[in-house]
Structure formats: C-alpha cells, structure tokens
Chain A
Amino acid sequence: MDIIQIVTLGIIASILYIVLKDLHGPFAFVIILVTGLIILLVVMKQLGSIIQLIESLGEKAAIDGMYINTILKIIGIAYLTELGANITKDAGLGAVAAKIELAGKIFILLLAIPIITAVIESILNFLPST
C-alpha cells in the first residue's frame, strides 16, 4: 500500500517542519521541497503504466501519434509548472510563482499550435468557398 507510506511521509515531514521552523529557517524549507519531490517521484513511477495504457489505446483507435505525444507533453509541462509554482509560493515568492504559471500556460499554448491549426483548417474545409 503505497498510499499509507505517502500519508505517513507527509505527517513525518510536517512534524520535522514544525521542529525545524524555529530552530533554523532554511532547512525547514528544504524539508518541504524534499517531501514534495519524493511524493511526486513515487507518483511518476506509477504514472508510467497509465501513460502506456493511453498510448496503446491510441494505437488501437488509430489516432495520429503526434496528437497523443502533444497531449502527454502538455500534461508533463502542467505537472512541472505546478511543482515549481507551489515551491516558490511556499518560499513566499507569490509573484515569481505567478510568472512560472504564466510561462507554463504560454508553453502549453505553443505546443498546441499544430492541433489548433489542424482544427481551423478542417473547419475552413467545411465552409463553402466564396
């Protein structure tokens, strides 16, 4: 049961954080950082099999590989952006966190450009040419 370990890890991390917060500030922040890191790492290892399932389903449905790859990249960027934004927000840098989120949105939009153009072109094909 991985979930029990993760919950226990969170509780231990909070206790250590409370102990270290008054003793030495920077180390308490490092505790938060490492806890998020470990939990995300455990989740990523499980996520690999889910991604494989999505890929195999896409191949069975004969979807163009480019679209699934783009979606996977967008999900990856979303996870990374969330991690960075949360850590910077915990450190008290709300402005930087907002900028990181903005950058994540821009990069996601950049990755989605080929799909958007494909959709617009197919819509234009439906329209009668004047």
Chain B
Amino acid sequence: MQMDASILFQIAGIGIIVALIHTILKQMGKEEIAQFATLVGFIIVLVIVINGLSDLFQQIRSVFLLQG
C-alpha cells in the first residue's frame, strides 16, 4: 500500500462526492437515503484509514521492539 498524497486526495474526493450526493438527495426529499449514502461513504473512508493505521502500528512495533 503506497502511502503518499494520493490517499489524501482520494479521501478528499470521496468526501466532496458524498457531500454532493447528500445535498442532492436532500433536495429530492429522500432524507433516509441521504443519511445512508453518507454512512456508506464514511465507512469506505474508515477502511482506508484503518489500513494506514495498522501499517503505522506495525512499523512502530517493529522499530521499538514492542512485542508484548
């Protein structure tokens, strides 16, 4: 998993698109579906973040000999 600015743009893009979908669905009067779309977008972003977080924790663990 390459960690550079592309992941940042990815998250920002997902955020903008989700906000757009949320606004459009709200205008159409479908409040529940709008909330659901926001939730799904957030879960997708969360998966990316958790991947990076576990990467970082593994790295710290191997560097600082924190096995226990």
Q: How far is the CA of A20 from the CA of B45 in the complex (A)?
A: 14
**B12 adjacent to A20 (CB under 8 Å):** yes
Q: Pick the residue among A24, A38, A44, A79 that contacts B7 (CB under 8 A).
A: A38
Q: Does A19 belong to the interface (CB within 8 Å)?
A: yes
**A38 adjacent to B12 (CB under 8 Å):** no
Taking residues whose C-beta sits less than 8 angstroms from the other chain, chain B's interface range is 20 to 34
**A28 adjacent to B63 (CB under 8 Å):** no
Tell me the residues in window 50-68 of chain B with beta carbons closer than 8 Å to chain A beta carbons.
Answer: 52-53, 55-57, 59-66
Q: How far is the CB of B2 from chain A (nearest CB, A)?
A: 10
The majority secondary structure among interface residues of chain A is: helix
Number of A-B contacts (CB under 8 A): 101
Q: Which of A8-16, A94-102, A112-120, A122-130 contacts B (4 or more CB under 8 A)?
A: A8-16
Residues of A within 8 A of B59 (CB): 41, 44-45
- The 8 A CB mask of B24-68 against A (1 = contact, 0 = none) is 000000000000001001100110110011011101111111100
A-B contact pairs, 11 of them (CB 8 A): A12-B5, A13-B8, A20-B15, A27-B42, A30-B45, A38-B7, A44-B59, A72-B64, A73-B64, A76-B65, A79-B60
